[in-house]
Amino acid sequence: MPYQTTVGSLTYRFADLKTLLAKASPARSGDSLAGLAADSYEERMAAKIALADVPLQRFLDEALIPYEADEVTRLIIDSHDTAAFAPIRHLSVGDFRDWLLLDSTDSATLTAAARGITPEMAAAVSKLMRNQDLILVAKKCRVVTRFRNTIGLPGHLSVRLQPNHPTDDLRGIAASLLDGLLYGAGDAVVGINPASDSPATLMQLWRMMDELRQRFEIPLQSCVLTHVTSQIQAIEAGAPIDLVFQSIAGTQKTNESFGIDLALLREAHAAALSLGRGTLGDNVMYFETGQGSALSAGGHHGVDQQTCEARAYAVAREFRPLLTNTVVGFIGPEYLYDGKQIIRAGLEDHFCAKLLGVPMGCDVCYTNHAEADQDDMDNLLTLLGAAGITFIMGIPGADDIMLNYQSTSFHDALYLRSTLGLKRAPEFDAWLAKMAITEASGQLRPISRGHALLRAF
């Protein structure tokens, strides 16, 4: 159905709900590239005004991508919790924003409502919110997950230790891994992006990380970020796999471009659960997402990139992951042009995921041909820390020498924890103190040449 609003003497009309959402989105290069963005600031504001009056129920009645054509749409509709939705069913998108910002809408209230909120509702309300609104509401959302340690507790920040190497050299990876552990990083996951898909190489990586974990009794989990089919095969071959990884998106067509569907993810989830390797919990999946992936794959169906991204969180939520993160600036300036767009997208992604009950981190990053720099990343890092981000990346020098992009370093995590008073996962913190890497306060200690970890390498 068409939507319209009158501003002054001008009447703005929007053909359908997905057009209205796209025109109401903050400016970004990806929507312009797709021909979906508002033609002017005035049209964008008119779309926001019209969107504010749309009842939340409309998102259940008017699918952006047809139910018959897209399994992600079917997942969203079929898994919708009507009882959780009941307390907010009468609200419009604008009313929903006001409700989210109320002091009385606390963490318990948001947790109870999460399964009643669809990704499209979350994306819609985010388009009406200032950055501070996104931060305030995300801060109230609590999503706690467990495998060998506890992630997502209030006042805590975890770090994915990312020891990538351009040739998968075990000594090079080990050096980065050691560097990260001595800086107190790794409580989210030790996750390697392999340069090779060779089963023998992948097996070496899994075994190296697991042997180190067992030798020093480290309460962490590891992951090799290869395709999910390779991980299923490796599980069948006896690989010591903790978390199963996969990049996911918000439409069936985009997921097909990744070589996956929901049935394959269910098979992988069952395979990981069958290993029973978690000691504290059974959150066994790790997902990555990113605005622009659907447009890049030609699978966006005319839906704006931020709404497509929010739909990916419905896929993640279905599998109760330990970790999910948006690789926010990785795809490039064709989709998020500059620091301002990257910052806004990172805050939107974190807000939408947490609102839907997904444990959300962010790879605070940019490519070298984007109009962004490390100061922009410092700004986003600090804003996400204030918003209660679950985890960030830890990469030597913030420079990933295998994937060739700029991210966050071990030092960045130290800065954020020190500035905002954030702690590591409690089990990992206790191990660091036991290993004389940190003081009881959590501050790093000087490391002597005779330290047990240094002798191991």
The model's pLDDT over 307-336, given as tens digits with 9 standing for 90+, comes to: 999 999 999 999 999 999 999 999 899 999
pLDDT value, residue 457: 75
CA–CA separation, 78 vs 63, rounded Å?
12
**Nearest Cα to 246, choosing from 264, 222, 221?**
264
Task: Report residue 378 as tokens.
Answer: 């410092």
What distance in Å separates the CA atoms of residue 312 and residue 352, rounded to the nearest whole number? Answer: 10
Closest of 382, 387, 386, 404 to residue 395, by C-alpha: 404
d(CA 36, CA 17): 12
Q: Distance (Å, rounded) from C-alpha 263 to C-alpha 321? A: 16
Question: Nearest 5°: CA angle at 18, between 361 and 83?
Answer: 65
Give the Cα separation of 49 and 53 in Å (integer): 7
Q: What are phi and psi of 333, to 5 degrees?
A: -70, -10
Which positions ≥6 away from 46 have C-beta within 8 Å? 5, 7, 10, 12, 23
For the whole prediction, is pTM greater than 0.85? yes
DSSP state of 22: H
Is the backbone of residue 388 left (phi > 0), alpha (psi -120 to 50) or beta?
left
The CA distance from 296 to 20, in Å, is: 22
Please tell me whether residue 151 adopts helix, strand or coil conformation. Answer: strand
pLDDT at 9: 86
Task: Give the residue among 151, 157, 153, 80 at the shortest CA–CA distance from 122.
Answer: 80
d(CA 456, CA 14): 64
pLDDT in tens, the chain (457 residues): 789 898 888 999 999 999 999 999 999 999 999 999 999 999 999 999 999 999 999 999 999 999 999 999 999 999 999 999 999 999 999 999 999 999 999 999 999 999 999 999 999 999 999 999 999 999 999 999 999 999 999 999 999 999 999 999 999 999 999 999 999 999 999 999 999 999 999 999 999 999 999 999 999 999 999 999 999 999 999 999 999 999 999 999 999 999 999 999 999 999 999 999 999 999 999 999 999 999 999 999 999 999 999 999 999 999 999 999 999 999 899 999 999 999 999 999 999 999 999 999 999 999 989 999 999 999 999 999 999 999 999 999 999 988 989 999 999 999 999 999 999 999 999 999 999 999 988 899 999 888 999 987 7
